[in-house]
């Protein structure tokens, strides 16, 4: 009788989850509805937790660098939105004064 052992297939499941998170994250860097950098970071954290050591692992320093880059990306996104809104408001006020 065929016995399915989930433990034998667990690395493939973790790789699938990691790759899907990373691919959706890369798509999210172009699509405004998906949190791209957050999903890429989630993929990196899942990868580090699922594969803590071995040939294809990343270090916690790499994860920390990705956290810094994610925070920088969110900060730039916030500031650029605020600057853009302020610029549009000034233009609208100038046009209404004419």
Read off the pLDDT of residues 10-64 as tens digits, 9 standing for 90 and up. 888 889 999 999 999 999 989 888 899 999 999 999 999 988 887 778 889 999 9
| pLDDT at residue 1 tops 60 | no
Dig out the tokens for 28 from the structure.
């999210």
**Torsion angle, alpha carbons of 40, 42, 43, 48, to 10:** 130
pLDDT at residue 64 in the model: 95
Is the sign of the CA dihedral 80, 85, 87, 88 positive or negative?
positive
pLDDT at residue 84 in the model: 80
pLDDT at residue 4 in the model: 63
CB 38 within 8 A of CB 26: no
pLDDT at residue 25 in the model: 94
pTM of the model: 0.76
Q: Which of 3-7, 32-36, 83-87 has the lowest mean pLDDT?
A: 3-7
pLDDT at residue 45 in the model: 94
Of the CA atoms within 13 Å of residue 38, those in its CB half-sphere come to 7
Taking phi over 0 as left and psi of -120 to 50 as alpha, with beta for the rest, 58 belongs to beta
Domain residues of the chain, as ranges? 9-97
């Amino acid at each position: 009788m065929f016995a399915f052992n989930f433990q034998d297939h667990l690395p493939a499941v973790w790789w699938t989850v990691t790759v899907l998170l990373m691919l959706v994250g890369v798509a999210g860097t172009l699509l405004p509805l998906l949190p791209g950098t957050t999903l890429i970071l989630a993929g990196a954290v899942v990868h580090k937790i699922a594969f803590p050591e071995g040939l294809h692992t990343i270090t916690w320093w790499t994860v920390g660098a990705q956290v810094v880059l994610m925070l920088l990306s969110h900060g730039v996104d916030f500031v650029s939105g605020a600057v853009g809104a302020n610029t549009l408001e000034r233009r609208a006020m100038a046009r209404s004064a004419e």
